[in-house]
Amino acid sequence: MRKALVGVVAATALFVPTVSPALGSGSPTTDTAREPESCYAFNPGQPTCSFTVTSTSSSGTVTGAVGPGDWVVVVKRGKQKIVLKPTSPEPVAFAYQVGDKVKATVNAAGGFVLAGHD
């Protein structure tokens, strides 16, 4: 049992993410990739989710909302309210801006929506 435990700990150590100074400054705060900003709403379960955009898209192309069913994404940009709804089975492209407040809602059972950017 002890040999197996040592083997598992040693194997796990190979998969621990680290920051290599050879790839950058070595500072985890400057070299760590930021997480995508998004939320996932599904019905039944969690029919509403929200987030605030704090950064720009890193690719500029993976941004908007996608999902089957009856859903709506409301983006508040200052005093402006922008509404996204599904128009076809394809994703709805939308360029979020820093400061946008995003709320996604799935209106009918069996649907979901993923809203956000990379």
Q: Where in the chain are the domains?
A: 34-117
Supply the mean pLDDT for the chain. Answer: 77
> Is residue 27 pLDDT above 70, yes or no?
no
> Is residue 10 pLDDT above 80, yes or no?
no
Q: Residues for the chain: how many in total?
A: 118
The pLDDT tens digits for 37-80 are 999 999 999 999 999 999 988 887 778 999 999 999 999 999 99
Residue 35 pLDDT level (bands cut at 50, 70, 90): confident
CA–CA gap between residue 47 and residue 95 (Å, rounded): 23
CA–CA gap between residue 16 and residue 14 (Å, rounded): 6
Q: Given this model, what pLDDT does residue 80 score?
A: 97
Residue 26 pLDDT level (bands cut at 50, 70, 90): very low
